């Protein structure tokens, strides 16, 4: 991981409440120090907390992001959903799209592509998740999956500067198992190769996600192709989250 523009994205998934936001203020105060000037700290809580969380961080360097959105960028009769326009109105600057937990719930590459288009239209920065399942890895299909998800997800996308790719092997999410550095480095190089093939010449940031914790952060941060982490479980615990940040940058 380079020391420039390093991203630390907290994906709170379907967890978190006001007390968790208050507890996270210790992290938010800390990262306002000069030492963290070039780091980007982004909290992605559930929708219901976006506005409140934003009110707490708006004068800090910390940003807020959502975890998904409806693919329709216009308002409409979609009971129970929220679109990129509504997310933008909360103060959120980022959005996670294509997370494997949503792919598992039926989201396709095509829907994800539509969601990316709608989020970019609202000037949200997209954290676009890709990654293979264990069964695919066992069948040596990792590269095939990476290629398919990147090609379909980014089809027709012009505003590439607002895209960040997060490589999250599904088998490493919540399992405590992380890929070996050599495997991770190889897969991230492959992602870069595909982006190049897709004529995406801009230097897209690539994050790693899956069981990042204070114990493995230092080692994972050695991989120079990685620009940061997308962190689930450990990000709800302020001590662990700040530990991960510190271990990755020292
Ligand atoms: P864990 O850090 O809990 O494995 O989750 C990773 C993840 O899914 C982040 O989007």
Please give the pLDDT value at position 4: 56
User: Which residues are CB-contacts of 98 (< 8 A; sequence separation ≥ 6)?
Assistant: 107, 112, 115, 116, 128, 129, 130, 149, 153
Please give the pLDDT value at position 5: 59
Q: What is the residue with the minimal CA distance to atom 9 of ligand 1?
A: 232
Helix axis angle, 18-30 to 50-57, nearest 10°: 30
How far apart, in Å, are the Cα atoms of 65 and each of 43, 49, 97, 138, 190? 6, 10, 11, 33, 27
The domain limits of the chain are: 7-249
Four-residue CA torsion sign, 47, 249, 142, 233: negative
Q: Is 136 annotated in the active site?
A: no
Please give the pLDDT value at position 1: 54
Task: For residue 213, report the distance from its CA to the centre of ligand 1, in Å.
Answer: 10
Q: What is the residue with the minimal CA distance to atom 5 of ligand 1?
A: 232
Closest atom of ligand 1 relative to the 166 alpha carbon: 10
The rounded average pLDDT for each run of 10 residues, N- to C-terminus, in the chain (250 residues) is 76 98 97 94 98 97 98 95 98 98 97 98 98 98 98 94 97 97 96 91 91 96 94 98 92
Kindly state which CATH superfamily the domain 7-249 is placed in: Aldolase class I (3.20.20.70)
pTM greater than 0.95 (yes/no): yes
Task: For residue 211, report the distance from its CA to the centre of ligand 1, in Å.
Answer: 6
Please give the pLDDT value at position 151: 97
Please give the pLDDT value at position 201: 74
- Dihedrals φ, ψ of 97, to 5°? -135, 150
Task: For residue 234, report the distance from its CA to the centre of ligand 1, in Å.
Answer: 8
Q: Is 99 annotated in the active site?
A: yes
| Long-range CB contacts for residues 20-23, cutoff 8 Å, separation at least 24 | 20/45, 20/236, 21/45, 21/49, 21/52, 21/53, 21/56, 23/238
């Amino acid at each position: 991981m380079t020391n420039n523009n390093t991203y630390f994205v907290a994906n709170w998934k379907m967890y978190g409440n006001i007390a968790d936001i208050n507890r996270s203020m210790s992290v938010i105060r800390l990262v306002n120090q000069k030492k963290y000037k070039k780091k980007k700290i982004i909290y992605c809580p559930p929708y219901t907390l976006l506005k409140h969380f934003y009110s707490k961080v708006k004068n800090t360097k910390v940003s807020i992001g959502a975890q998904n959105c409806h693919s329709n960028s216009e308002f409409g009769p979609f009971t129970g959903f929220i679109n990129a326009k509504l997310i933008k109105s909360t103060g959120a600057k980022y959005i996670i799209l294509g997370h494997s937990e949503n792919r598992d719930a039926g989201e396709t590459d095509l829907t994800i592509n539509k969601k990316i288009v709608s989020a970019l239209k609202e000037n949200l920065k997209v954290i676009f998740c890709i990654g293979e399942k264990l069964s695919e890895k066992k069948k040596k299909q990792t590269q095939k999956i990476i290629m398919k998800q990147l090609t379909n997800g980014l089809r027709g996308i012009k505003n590439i500067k607002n895209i960040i790719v997060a490589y999250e092997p599904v088998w490493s999410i919540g399992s405590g198992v992380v890929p070996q550095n050599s495997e991770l480095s190889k897969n991230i190089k492959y992602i870069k190769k595909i982006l190049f093939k897709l004529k995406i010449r801009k230097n897209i940031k690539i994050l790693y996600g899956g069981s990042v914790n204070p114990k493995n952060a230092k080692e994972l941060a050695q991989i120079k192709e990685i620009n940061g982490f997308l962190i689930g479980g450990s990000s709800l615990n302020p001590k662990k989250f700040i530990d991960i940040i510190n271990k990755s940058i020292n």
